[in-house]
Structure 1
Amino acid sequence: MKKYRLLESCLFLPTYLNKRKLNRQLEGKSILITGASSGIGKELTYELADISCNLIVVARRRDMLAQIKKELKGKKANVYIFQADLRNEGERETFLTFLHELPNGANSIDIVVSNAGLSIRRSIFHSLDRYHDFTRTMAINYFAPVHILLSLLPHLKKNCGQIINISTVNALLAPVPDFAAYQASKSALDMWLRSASTELKEAGINVTSIYLPLVRTPMIEPTTAYGKMPAMSPKHVARIICKSMYTKKKRYKPWWLIFGQVVSIFTNSFSSVFTKGGKSE
């Protein structure tokens, strides 16, 4: 794991992972990971590869999935790869058909890690002729995971399974400018799971929401300002996800988030007053 800078070490405290417990929990299980060709999904796949389980990984980039399959050959896990753009409903349907037809019990999913996502930072006034900014973001951050989960709920119920949603601290903070598409879509899935959690719990399905700060993945590279900001490593996040698979805790969030929530409320209030064109009543 890449060494953290001093500030990052204070913000992102180490995660102890009990690999013995993890092995016992996952042996023989089937785990679906979306968005697995890079970043968090890729690191999680590699973290689980030494366990005798079934790993079903899906992403848009076929070449990167093939490389993962090649590199993990000979590991204990059975790795199944599938290329699909989950924003596309037709491709989701094809993927779900593939998933339900997997051999040797691999199709009976025990854990879903909903990781695929799209971030976008753009002023609302730069999106006036870009309605697709919102449809694409909602498609991958909300409709795709809901579609997949609805299809897999019978398996998860039968197996007393687990849904792990890779969310963002933005879903728990006051809204900020330039992130309307992203924040709305991530908050939509977060609220869907929170609303459904009671029914899911009664069916024996655990729900874990992992609220992450900035993570150093390819998704943040287009925003140059993020290069100097503190960010978690994908490998660290993978360890947090693995730990949640045996602790079954309802949520993970950074220790400092409570302070961030207070600051975000005040920042949002002041920005509405002092932004050009804004006024106080």
Structure 2
Amino acid sequence: MSRRQLRGLRALVTGASGGIGKAIALELARQGVQCLLLARNGDRLAEVRAETRELGTQASVVVGDVTNAADRNTALEFAQREFGGLDLLINNAGISASGDFATGSSEVLRQIFEVNFFGAVELTREALPLLRQGRSPMIVNIGSILGHRGIPFTGDYCASKFALTGWSQSLRAELKSEGIEVLLVSPGTTESNLASQLIEQRVKLPWAGMKGVTAERVARATVRAIERGKHEIVPNWSGWWMLFAHRLAPGVVDTVMARLARRTRS
């Protein structure tokens, strides 16, 4: 499609109290987008709203959990009542855990899927009537490079992001005829607050301290992709290199990952 004009569009951003979600909210506000922010931490949401006010486009907030149907409904009703509709849905809310699969639990796995996958899926399903009436509508799913290549001790998280990747590709094809675009963002290592969203940490990951790109850089790349109507972006070089290596020599990457796993256990 032609270049999307952002100013005046209406967006719902989940997981907007910190990290990539906050950075996207601020970047959208900078571009004149009217934002509704959904997250569980009301105090931090209020801080983000104050920052958007300084940028000239004050966001609105709904304190709630993306896995809760009532909270999702509250956010969408707010968008309809106060904004008159919705043009952009940013599915960003996410949690993770670290640990080996053998000693993990189904409870943790299901909790991760509820936030990272089912929350996004059900909110999107419920938002479609508004998006169908929107201006240049787009669904933006914040995935991960780990939705293309799994790494040890984060299997639950990787699985949820693989699911998000496949669903995004399927949804893109289904909604094309309705004029609703789907953008999948697959960041590599990012300096975000995901570490604070670990619901369980049974292994200290050796790559956890690696320097990544800033959440602000991911946000700028994401908003540019929204503006240009992109279908998928990998907004940092570390992610591109992992994806390239996996496609070029998957056996070599498997060997490297197995060695990392052994060193982590020792």
TM-score (structure 1 length as normaliser): 0.79
Asked if 1:45 corresponds to 2:21, the answer is no
DSSP 3-state at the match of 1:70: helix
Counterpart CA distance in 1 for 2:69 and 2:251 is 37
Asked if 1:121 corresponds to 2:78, the answer is no
* Contact 1:51/1:76 (<8 A) preserved: no
Query: Counterpart in 1 of 2:86?
Result: 109
Residue range with higher mean Cα deviation, 136-145 or 39-48:
39-48
1:162 to 126, 138, 150: 138
Query: Counterpart in 1 of 2:252?
Result: 266
- Aligned-pair identity (%): 26
Counterpart CA distance in 2 for 1:41 and 1:146 is 17
2:50 to 60, 70, 75: 70
Counterpart CA distance in 2 for 1:220 and 1:261 is 28
Query: Counterpart in 1 of 2:40?
Result: 60
Flag structure 1 segments of 5+ consecutive residues without an equivalent: 1-20, 277-281
**Structure 1 residues 123 and 50: alpha-carbon distance in aligned structure 2, compared to 1, 3 A threshold:** same
Asked if 1:251 corresponds to 2:221, the answer is no
Query: Counterpart in 2 of 1:153?
Result: 128
- Matched to 2:146, the amino acid is N
TM-score (structure 2 length as normaliser): 0.83
* Contact 1:220/1:226 (<8 A) preserved: no
Counterpart CA distance in 1 for 2:57 and 2:260 is 55
Residue range with higher mean Cα deviation, 233-242 or 151-160:
151-160
Structure number with greater Rg is 1
Flag structure 2 segments of 5+ consecutive residues without an equivalent: 199-203
**Structure 1 residues 170 and 263: alpha-carbon distance in aligned structure 2, compared to 1, 3 A threshold:** farther
* Contact 2:30/2:52 (<8 A) preserved: no
* Displacement of 1:107: 4.1
- Matched to 2:99, the amino acid is R
Counterpart CA distance in 2 for 1:96 and 1:275 is 43
* Displacement of 1:227: 5.1
Query: Counterpart in 2 of 1:218?
Result: 193
* Displacement of 1:26: 1.2
Alignment map for 1:191-210 (pairs within 5 Å): 191-210=166-185
Count of residues in correspondence between the two structures: 249
